[in-house]
Structure 1
Amino acid sequence: MSQILTLVAPPGGLSQPLLHRVRDALQALGATAGAPDWLAPEEAADLPFDGLAAEQAIAAATTALDGALVDAIATPAEGRRKRLLLADMDSTIVTSETLDEIAAYAGLKEPIAEITRRSMNGELDFRQALIERVGMLQGLPISALERTWEATALTAGALELVATMRANGAHCALVSGGFTFFTGRVADLVGFHAHYSNTLEIADGKLTGKVGEPILDRDAKLATLKRLAAEHGLPLEAALTVGDGANDLAMIQAAGLGVAFRAKPVVAAAARARVDHADLRALLFAQGYRAAEIIGG
């Protein structure tokens, strides 16, 4: 069949009755649906189908799931395994917004986090919001960055996502509106081939309150996707992108598989694929990887 609906849940959250309920919902709309294929027991399964648009299949699945903590991602059966990965960092590969955490050491976490929230939901211009937030941190010692890094945690599945895609020949890059201080360390820790982000200007061991130019924003993320695809001789359909904020939306919409991961409302509403419940291994299951093929980080 020409399309696959992948259902993914936190471990133990996907049952045979739920699978059959979704399959019945597809068939009720006139689709031809094949037998479920388990990728990971009680966690991920494929439902091949024909006769419905991807958006219709996802909507039918969402209704059939009736609030169950299960993500539904529809992809073409052909070309599922992607050869280029571009991932956002903050609230995607790591669990936190690193700039907000830095701000805590200046006693400004709440006001800066509010600006971050509005920027990531597309309510504020990303570039201006970034300049404003960094400006508020002028004079903060770089020890705040070190302490923030010590408290930064990886999102579950990040190591497996990159290790598995690398092992299968994909080029993996971190592309962030955050800062090189963190992206370099995250890239080394997780195994990304490259990282692209912004630079905090520092003088005499303190933040100057300025960001180095050019600023990596929404347009720059999209440009990075197109450049890396061209450099590796790949069509955009061969790329997987993932992020949570409005500055990720252009690259999410341009890729063959663009995923809104636990995303802000404006991003979740506009993305063709979204993951709200499972961890980052969902991006591997969506490409047809079985549990036994996933490298454990």
Structure 2
Amino acid sequence: MCRALRSSLVTARFLVVLDADSTLIRNEVIELIADEAGRGAEVAAATEAAMRGEVDFAQSLRSRVRELTGVPVASFVRVRARIEPTPGVTALIDAVHARGGLVGVVSGGFHEILDELAPHLGVDLWRANRLLAADGVLTGEVDGPIVDAAAKREWLTRWAHEHGVPMSRTIAIGDGANDLLMLEAAGLGLAFNAKPAVRRAAPLVIGPVNLSQVIPLLPF
């Protein structure tokens, strides 16, 4: 489900859409959840391969989520406590809002974390995967279609259309191979904290891991 803090009828001057893991935040959330099951190292290696584009993202995610089978939903409290927002993220979001823009986040991660994190940071729109649970523990399955590269591009374009923003006035920011379609579709695609393949393909690379570096690129 897509959540929004502002009415879908609100128009905006521009739209900035970020990936979540290793972009909006410094962590890979699935690795934090896997730590709760003692499988963090295995899942981290699989995540790295997926972000480099070496394996199909949806297939990889389903495989990694199976490693989360049996993790108590109550452990999400500990996971959320370990989340580290990327330096400069609040400055960037404040600057977008000050100039009449909206901030969206579209993630291959999970609503279970993003539904609390996004409004806390001031994000306007967000979309992610949802984990299935039964009897208070994860079943090892994802609920519904995977948010993959094509879905990220779709949500960027959908949000732009809903808020009256021309695609030429959209900015997409991401680090992994599953962000490339979104970066290509945006008016400006930014590789941030990115894997080598993404740095090579993106129109512009942000070097320092600080999202305030994006502020000078925002439309006026």
| TM-score under structure 2 length normalisation | 0.91
User: Quick one: which of 156, 161, 164 aligns to 2:95?
Assistant: 164
| TM-score under structure 1 length normalisation | 0.68
Gaps of 5+ in 2: 1-12
State the 4+ residue runs in structure 1 displaced beyond 2 angstroms. Answer: 286-289
* 2:18 and 2:174 in contact (8 A); partners too: yes
Per-residue CA distance 1:164-214 (angstroms, 9 max, x = gap): 101211121111010001111121111011110000011111001000112
Return the offset for 1:278.
4.7
* Equivalent in the alignment of 1:202: 133
Q: Distance in 2 between matches of 1:180 and 1:272?
A: 29
* Equivalent in the alignment of 2:194: 263
Return the offset for 1:148.
1.0
Return the offset for 1:234.
2.1
3-state SS of paired residue (1:210): strand
User: Quick one: which of 17, 22, 27 aligns to 1:86?
Assistant: 17
User: Quick one: which of 106, 109, 115 aligns to 1:175?
Assistant: 106
Q: Kindly provide the amino acid, as one letter, of the partner of residue 70 in structure 2.
A: G
Q: Distance in 2 between matches of 1:243 and 1:171?
A: 17
Q: Distance in 2 between matches of 1:235 and 1:83?
A: 8
* Equivalent in the alignment of 2:82: 151
Q: How many matched pairs?
A: 208
Comparing 195-204 with 164-173, greater Cα deviation is found at: 164-173
Q: Distance in 2 between matches of 1:185 and 1:88?
A: 16
3-state SS of paired residue (1:213): coil
3-state SS of paired residue (1:94): coil
Comparing 278-287 with 265-274, greater Cα deviation is found at: 278-287
Per-residue CA distance 1:133-165 (angstroms, 9 max, x = gap): 001111111132221110111001111111110
Return the offset for 1:288.
7.1
Residue 276 of structure 1 pairs with residue 207 of structure 2: yes
* Equivalent in the alignment of 2:34: 103
* Equivalent in the alignment of 1:66: none
Q: Distance in 2 between matches of 1:187 and 1:287?
A: 20
* Equivalent in the alignment of 2:55: 124
Q: Which has the larger radius of gyration?
A: 1
Q: Distance in 1 between matches of 2:106 and 2:30?
A: 15
Q: Distance in 2 between matches of 1:115 and 1:127?
A: 12
* Equivalent in the alignment of 1:140: 71
Identity of aligned residues (%): 38
Q: Kindly provide the amino acid, as one letter, of the partner of residue 40 in structure 2.
A: K
User: Quick one: which of 241, 248, 254 aligns to 2:179?
Assistant: 248
Q: Distance in 2 between matches of 1:274 and 1:183?
A: 25
Per-residue CA distance 1:251-297 (angstroms, 9 max, x = gap): 111111111101011111100111122510111022378xxxxxxxx
Gaps of 5+ in 1: 1-81, 290-297
Q: Distance in 1 between matches of 2:213 and 2:62?
A: 34
Q: Distance in 2 between matches of 1:288 and 1:275?
A: 17
3-state SS of paired residue (1:202): strand
| Closer, same or farther: CA 150–88 of 1 in aligned 2, 3 Å | same
User: Quick one: which of 126, 143, 158 aligns to 1:212?
Assistant: 143
Per-residue CA distance 1:24-61 (angstroms, 9 max, x = gap): xxxxxxxxxxxxxxxxxxxxxxxxxxxxxxxxxxxxxx
Q: Identify the structure with bigger relative contact order (alpha carbons < 8 Å, sequence gap 6+).
A: 2
3-state SS of paired residue (1:140): coil
